[in-house]
Structure 1
Amino acid sequence: MKYLQGVLFDWAGTTVDYGCMAPVGSFMDMFAEKGIQVSMEETRQPMGMAKIDHIRTMLEMPGIYSQLGNQKISEKDITEMNERFEQLLFKNLADYADPVPGAVAAVEEIIDMDLKIGTTTGYTRDMMKIVQAGAAEKGYAPDIVITAEDVGAGRPFPWMAYAAAMKMGVYPMNRIVKVGDTVMDMKEGRNAGAWTVGLVYGSSEFGLTQTETKQLSEQDRLSRAAEVRKRLIEAGAHHVLDTIADLPAYLKELDHQLSQQEVLV
């Protein structure tokens, strides 16, 4: 590679946990325990943020805020809600650590291209201990994992990306390609000044398991995919790929374009 030096991956919905299913049920169950009904769409909208920020964002949504009698929730209550969410999530997190199809092979090919690998996540460090252990058993074990706890704030702030770049030893940021599956991933990448790539299938934005995806008619699948592409591009993606398996070939193409100075950040 002549121009690109590193790739920065998200975790759930990007490299592991097809459909980013693990957090969704835990968020919805936690709110239900509080007597608050939330939709799948409301739950997924802030996905990619630090989980306590995810809860704060949901509480400000009109449909949820109205159920609270249009009253602000205290930070103490938000902390308690986050603690309950974590309790629920820890019960099943290990079941959602498998790499998505094509991830292990794609990462191995990217490493063979002499690109460094880093990762950022909306999960906490304790959550990541579980996810990393499960993913490593299936062949995915990146050395660099940055959480919001490490830098003080999660997405859409670029701090995790900067910290990962420091550990990767890569600069400037436009030598890095950020890869993710959510609107927040795209914002993180763009805010950090990195090339930013979104993924469609297996993403939180697509929001379906592998089985559910296969059961869609071709028309429904393509329509849903088009909507996901639109949201990710509007959030800042330079490019959107179908799957992570498509990434190595795209990186080679992008590197060629950049080395010829055909594309500018």
Structure 2
Amino acid sequence: MIKTSIEAVIFDWAGTTVDFGSRAPMGAFVKLFQSEGIEMTISQARIPMGINKWDHINALLHLPEIQSQWLQIHGKTHSNADVDRLLEIFVPMNKVSIRECGQLIPGVAELTKTLRERHIKIGSTTGYTKELLDILLPIAKEQGYEADALSYSGDTPLGRPSAQMMYRCAEQLGFDNPLSFIKVDDTEPGIEEGKAFGCWTVGVAVSGNALGLSYEDLIALPQKDSIHLIESARKTMQAMQPDYVIDSVADLLSVIDQINRRLDLGEKPN
């Protein structure tokens, strides 16, 4: 019997490997809708997080509190052409916010080095389009993070929560056993993507969408407030039922070791 162990980790981007708090997309979505005369909160903008940007805009337009403002302004419900137009406006806005929020999350560069030493490949799936990812890739590489395989919004017929981007990464890496993969993400569509692929899933609670604060803002909070927010973010992530929940990718190595021990015992993901 051939022994199975972790051969690849597929990461999300915003909130998982870069942009602590996943702020870049949120700020751009709020600005986008403000440009249309629609008031939207950051919390509302986060609701569909994890899916591709066209679907994200479409989902926001279906929120009752956003839809009512749209109807008041336009006198009719939105169309696919409206979503197309809004996406064209959104992309340049998001390019600016990606440059502003492209810092690696603490621990990512060190984790990358260790994964390379262990001969574990690195892949990524994202709701970003290739145009947006092309902005982010050199920023991340300069800081010490680079993926061996990439799949992005529009790269496959279906995005998250389908497994198509995961299969695309697996094809690029030359691995075909989902049990040897870990999907790490800070959103429910990203976790569901990993489940659909049949691999191990790890939810990131504190550095991503579930908490939604920058690292600087988080550490500036009074301790009782930060403890409350962190516990709430962990519960939010646990409700998505990944195999493991960690605060950030800085905690991933011990999870890889645990999964390898479970694989030795013949265990499978939830």
Q: TM-score, normalised by structure 1?
A: 0.94
Check conservation: 1:186, 1:232, Cα contact below 8 A: no
- Post-superposition CA distance 1:180-215 (Å, at most 9, x none): 111221111112211110112221221001111012
- Whole-Å Cα distance in 1 between the matches of residues 229 and 191 of structure 2? 19
User: Is 1:108 aligned with 2:110?
Assistant: no
Q: SS in structure 1 opposite 2:210?
A: coil
- Equivalence for 1:195: 200
Instruction: Using the TM superposition, give the Cα deviation of residue 262 of structure 1 relative to its aligned residue in structure 2, in angstroms.
Output: 4.8
- Whole-Å Cα distance in 1 between the matches of residues 223 and 268 of structure 2? 34
Q: SS in structure 1 opposite 2:266?
A: coil
1:216-235 alignment runs, 5 A limit: 216-235=221-240
- Post-superposition CA distance 1:148-181 (Å, at most 9, x none): 2111222112111111111112222122110011
Which segments of 5 or more consecutive residues in structure 1 lack a partner in the other structure?
none
- Whole-Å Cα distance in 2 between the matches of residues 54 and 175 of structure 1? 30
Check conservation: 1:97, 1:132, Cα contact below 8 A: no
- Whole-Å Cα distance in 1 between the matches of residues 109 and 131 of structure 2? 23
- Equivalence for 1:173: 178
User: Is 1:67 aligned with 2:72?
Assistant: no
- Whole-Å Cα distance in 2 between the matches of residues 123 and 148 of structure 1? 6
- Whole-Å Cα distance in 2 between the matches of residues 233 and 191 of structure 1? 18
- Whole-Å Cα distance in 2 between the matches of residues 6 and 149 of structure 1? 23
- Whole-Å Cα distance in 1 between the matches of residues 154 and 140 of structure 2? 21
Change (3 A) 1:67 1:264: closer
Q: SS in structure 2 opposite 1:222?
A: helix
- Post-superposition CA distance 1:58-116 (Å, at most 9, x none): 11112112222384201111111111111212234222222111001112212222222
Instruction: Using the TM superposition, give the Cα deviation of residue 229 of structure 1 relative to its aligned residue in structure 2, in angstroms.
Output: 2.1
- Whole-Å Cα distance in 1 between the matches of residues 195 and 208 of structure 2? 19
CA RMSD, 1 decimal: 1.7
- Whole-Å Cα distance in 2 between the matches of residues 92 and 12 of structure 1? 11
Check conservation: 1:179, 1:198, Cα contact below 8 A: yes
- Equivalence for 1:32: 34
Q: Tell me which moved more, 241-250 or 70-79.
A: 70-79
- Equivalence for 1:254: 259
- Equivalence for 2:141: 136
After TM superposition, where is structure 1 displaced by more than 6 Å over at least 4 residues in a row? none
- Whole-Å Cα distance in 1 between the matches of residues 159 and 223 of structure 2? 36
Q: SS in structure 2 opposite 1:177?
A: strand
1:33-48 alignment runs, 5 A limit: 33-48=35-50
Q: SS in structure 1 opposite 2:154?
A: helix
- Whole-Å Cα distance in 1 between the matches of residues 213 and 148 of structure 2? 29
Check conservation: 2:51, 2:160, Cα contact below 8 A: yes
Match of 2:242 among 231, 237, 246: 237
Counterpart of 2:89, as a letter, is R
Check conservation: 1:190, 1:236, Cα contact below 8 A: no
User: Is 1:58 aligned with 2:63?
Assistant: no
Number of residue equivalences: 265
Identity %: 31
Which segments of 5 or more consecutive residues in structure 2 lack a partner in the other structure?
none
Change (3 A) 1:264 1:206: closer
Q: SS in structure 2 opposite 1:185?
A: helix
Q: SS in structure 2 opposite 1:69?
A: helix
Instruction: Using the TM superposition, give the Cα deviation of residue 51 of structure 1 relative to its aligned residue in structure 2, in angstroms.
Output: 0.7
- Whole-Å Cα distance in 2 between the matches of residues 10 and 59 of structure 1? 25
- Equivalence for 1:17: 19
- Whole-Å Cα distance in 2 between the matches of residues 6 and 105 of structure 1? 16
Instruction: Using the TM superposition, give the Cα deviation of residue 120 of structure 1 relative to its aligned residue in structure 2, in angstroms.
Output: 0.6
- Equivalence for 2:217: 212
Check conservation: 2:183, 2:202, Cα contact below 8 A: yes
